[in-house]
Amino acid sequence: MSLLARYRASGADLPFGDPRPAHGLAMEGYFWRVTDRSTQRTLIALIGVNQPRDGSAPWATLGLATSDGFLRTLAAPEGWANPRRLGARSGTAFVADATRVRVNLGPDALCEFRIDQPAPWPRRAVGGSSAFQSVPGLNQYWHPWLLGGRATGSATIAGERWDFTDAQVYAEKNWGKGGFPESWWWGQAQGFAEAEAGVAFAGGLVHAGPLRTTVTAVVVRLPDGQVFRLGNPGVSPVRAQVTDERWVLRGRGYGWEVVLDGRAPLGDAHVLPVPLPDEHRNTAGDLEHLAGTLDVTVRRRGRTVWEGTTDLAALEHGGLARAEAELRRRGIPLGATDAPPVR
């Protein structure tokens, strides 16, 4: 194995490297989100390729969910992530690359779409994790590689067919040797009045050896296509106040200031799975809304340059204990993340 390959196998990427190909870690996660303003619906498709430490064959966490309340997840016995370019698959159940996604989790959980006019991550020097991208051995890395574009395709959800043309699309990758943090928060939003605008954020406890710190990153794509990122400790910090129903983030740096205010009722959240790679199974770990409300205010050197609101925001608050408690409150068995859909 080359020196660069060993370095990437730690989870890190050199400056100007491409974080999208597989690193070969315990978990390589890929996530797509479609926002269809014409029907006021959203859809997510996800695959996590999980490698147990005992060297056994990788398996996959698969998921398809919509803002209508549909959820189907699966722990699939096979998984593969492309080490040369962005791509992942699990048999015929999930096949995806940078331009197309195809999901078949049963006749009532189908989705296929292509991506046109992509708006890729524009900062060549670093990815979404910024300077942390080059730190080996972190428990989690994050890269929003697609900040916009047009999705055209269809989904068959619980017997209903949904066709969409030129819907908005976003995609990201997350990976790490330690699975998910003890607690984390995340969000992504399109569906604003301005079609090119979008927001994504991710935060949680990041650690590698003696390094332990809580970091939140915010990425904003303005209506004119300009992109900026805040979240570097000491330079462009982001403060986050997060509950299961409220996400308030404030960031400042490089002349930019951003305020995000998200809201969604807990009872509307999906309980999504997170993988336990060594155990070949998923567990409840994530409360995610697919149609929350998010207000965004962006200022440049004290002057407001954009304000927007969407009711189609994804808002997430993760943590194993939190998700398990919510399943118990709803009277749903803890293994339900691999059960038939809840609607």
- Flag whether pLDDT at 342 surpasses 70: no
- In the numeric block, which tokens belong to residue 338? 């691999």
The predicted pLDDT at position 337 comes to 53
Show Cβ contacts of residue 343 under 8 Å, excluding neighbours closer than 6 positions.
68, 69, 70, 158
Cα dist. 162→40, 99, 165 in Å? Answer: 12, 20, 10
- Flag whether pLDDT at 8 surpasses 80: yes
The predicted pLDDT at position 340 comes to 36
- Flag whether pLDDT at 300 surpasses 90: yes
What does the alpha-carbon distance between residue 125 and residue 288 come to, in Å, rounded to a whole number?
Answer: 31
Q: Are 259 and 270 in contact (CB under 8 A)?
A: no
- Flag whether pLDDT at 39 surpasses 50: yes
- Flag whether pLDDT at 26 surpasses 90: yes
- Flag whether pLDDT at 47 surpasses 90: yes
Tell me what percent of the residues of the chain surpass a pLDDT of 90. 76
- Flag whether pLDDT at 264 surpasses 70: yes
The predicted pLDDT at position 335 comes to 59
pTM equals: 0.95
